[in-house]
Amino acid sequence: MLTVIAFVVAIGILIAVHEYGHYRVAVACGVKVLRFSVGFGKTLYRWQPSRQHPGQQTEFVIGAFPLGGYVKMLDEREGPVAPEERHRAFNAQPLRARAAIVAAGPVANLLLAVVLYTAVSWIGVQEPVAKLARPVAASLAEAAGLRGGEHVTRAGFDGELEPVRSFEDLRWRITRGALDGHDLTLEVAGEDGRPARQLVLPLSRIEAKDADAQMFRKIGVVAPLTRPEIGEVMAGSAAERAGLRNGDLVRAIGNTSIVDGQQLREAIRASVNGGPPLAQAWQIQRGAQALTLDVKPELREEGTLKVGRIGAYVGAPPDMVTVRLGPLDGLWHGVVRTWEVSALTVRMMGKMVIGEASLKNLSGPLTIADYAGKSASLGLTQYLVFLALISVSLGVLNLMPLPVLDGGHLMYYLWEGLTGKRVSDAWMERLQRGGVALLLVMMSVALFNDVTRLFG
């Protein structure tokens, strides 16, 4: 139920803001707005405010199908217009007014993202400290010299280092670098009185087409540092049979010292090496008592991979930090983050078009609904971050030069501005049909990806 409510609220807010952008600029330009609708299909609720802008008699509607909305304006192409009201018709407006009205929807979504990211910065959010777990074996991070336990204080591209506020901040920069093919310089705090040092994470060496778990495993930075502690043990599991208990601290497996939870999880996964799991001698610290237990993980399949599992929560929660910024810094962070997410979205779309990025990155309503529920369950700030991300995606998507989208109409106006002639109705109809077909293909791919992710 939480997933459904969170999804409906998110979609309702994003569509309402998008359409309000069109509506508000249309009213400012003197265009008569006939209907403002959030949702399609059967009307669930309608009202007409008694006090409106001069000349406006807009009907506000909520439709039964929430995935969309529209602003219907007075337009001679859609019906007869009285001569005395022609100056209020959309098609009679100068080019700059029509372009501003069309662009206002996507711009409203981008502005909403700035507001949301700023609000999160002001409220503050609990995130893991940027201390690194032991890197995945044979990964870029291991080759770069990371061994686990390092605290990353600054990071950046092309020698321009900026403070790293949290592990999520670092993960975002790694994602940008991997998808753009840029190496990331890390500054690691000194330990035991030693000076801070810098190293380079050579992200340009990998061909990242999907921002998924496999990409981060290749890079080697998968999770923040956690204590190698055993949490809740499931009844009848391998952990229970071996005698493991909640709170046990794992010091070593065989002759290998264990320093963090991520390393312990990797060791358990790797206990299957082309055959049945092997029993391992675990050195355990239980309070003041040191124990050695024989643990034999169970075989589990993850897609085409066979991995080991013990049936217990592995790793204590990481150290957390509250990331909160002041009024001006928070506002600037909101602007910068919106710009960065927008730029990354555009680059990913471009890479998908030319085949450098996988179409698996396209997500549809099922994935959005799933993320909406998960983010809402984590708290207000995580839900606001989710809303900001989807708002950016909606704004950028609508600026794509597809005829059925706002970006397509802006392309018509660009042609009109360059040639002095409007696109003919015949060409408009052909382009609209082509745009609908392409959009249906994109929606089909996104829905297929959704089903694969959630049920595959």
- Residue 398 burial by Cβ neighbours in a 10 Å radius (0-12, 13-18, 19+): buried
CA–CA dist 38, 58 (Å, integer): 13
Which of 45-54, 171-180, 190-199, 407-416 is predicted least confidently?
190-199
Provide the pLDDT confidence category of residue 380 given band limits of 50, 70 and 90. Answer: confident
The pLDDT of residue 120 is 94
The pLDDT of residue 24 is 94
Phi, then psi, of 99 in degrees rounded to 5: -65, -40
pLDDT digits (tens, 9 = 90+) for 287-333: 889 999 999 998 888 777 788 889 999 888 888 998 899 999 999 99
Q: Is 19 labeled as catalytic in the residue annotation?
A: yes
Phi, then psi, of 383 in degrees rounded to 5: -70, -40
Answer whether residue 456 shows pLDDT above 70. no
Most confident option among 24-38, 51-65, 169-183, 400-414: 24-38
| Mean pLDDT, residues 73-102 taken together | 90
Evaluate whether 136 touches 147 at the Cβ level (below 8 Å): no
Q: Which among 120, 100, 180 is positioned nearest to 344, based on CA atoms? A: 180
Could you tell me what percent of the chain has a pLDDT over 70?
Answer: 95
CA–CA dist 87, 90 (Å, integer): 8
Provide the pLDDT confidence category of residue 122 given band limits of 50, 70 and 90. Answer: very high
Answer whether residue 390 shows pLDDT above 70. yes
pLDDT digits (tens, 9 = 90+) for 93-109: 999 999 999 999 999 99
- Considering the candidates 19, 150, 229, 298, report the single residue annotated as catalytic: 19
| Mean pLDDT, residues 240-267 taken together | 89
The pLDDT of residue 275 is 74
Half-sphere exposure of 379 (CA within 13 A, CB side): 8
Q: Which among 9, 71, 16, 67 is positioned nearest to 41, based on CA atoms? A: 67
Domains of the chain: 94-124+326-456 (no CATH), 140-219 (2.30.42.10), 230-299 (2.30.42.10)
The pLDDT of residue 121 is 94
The pLDDT of residue 357 is 67
Which residues have C-beta within 8 Å of that of residue 108, sequence separation ≥ 6?
17, 18, 20, 21, 22, 395
What sign for the dihedral angle of Cα 292, 294, 299, 304?
Answer: positive
Which of 222-236, 397-411, 437-451 is predicted least confidently?
437-451
pTM listed for this prediction: 0.81
CA separation, residue 1 to residues 6, 373, 383 (Å) = 9, 9, 16
Looking at the DSSP bridge assignments, the partners of residue 286 are 289
Answer whether residue 208 shows pLDDT above 80. no
Which of 89-98, 214-223, 381-390, 445-454 is predicted least confidently?
445-454
Half-sphere exposure of 101 (CA within 13 A, CB side): 25
Provide the pLDDT confidence category of residue 160 given band limits of 50, 70 and 90. Answer: confident
The pLDDT of residue 324 is 92
The pLDDT of residue 395 is 93
How would DSSP label each residue in 352-366?
A: HHHTSS-GGG---HH
| Mean pLDDT, residues 48-57 taken together | 83
Answer whether residue 424 shows pLDDT above 90. no
The pLDDT of residue 71 is 92
CA separation, residue 393 to residues 158, 167, 399, 411 (Å) = 27, 23, 10, 20
How would DSSP label each residue in 387-438?
A: HHHHHHHHHHHHTSS-TTSHHHHHHHHHHHHHHS-PPPHHHHHHHHHHHHHH
CA separation, residue 19 to residues 60, 108, 109 (Å) = 11, 8, 9
The pLDDT of residue 99 is 94
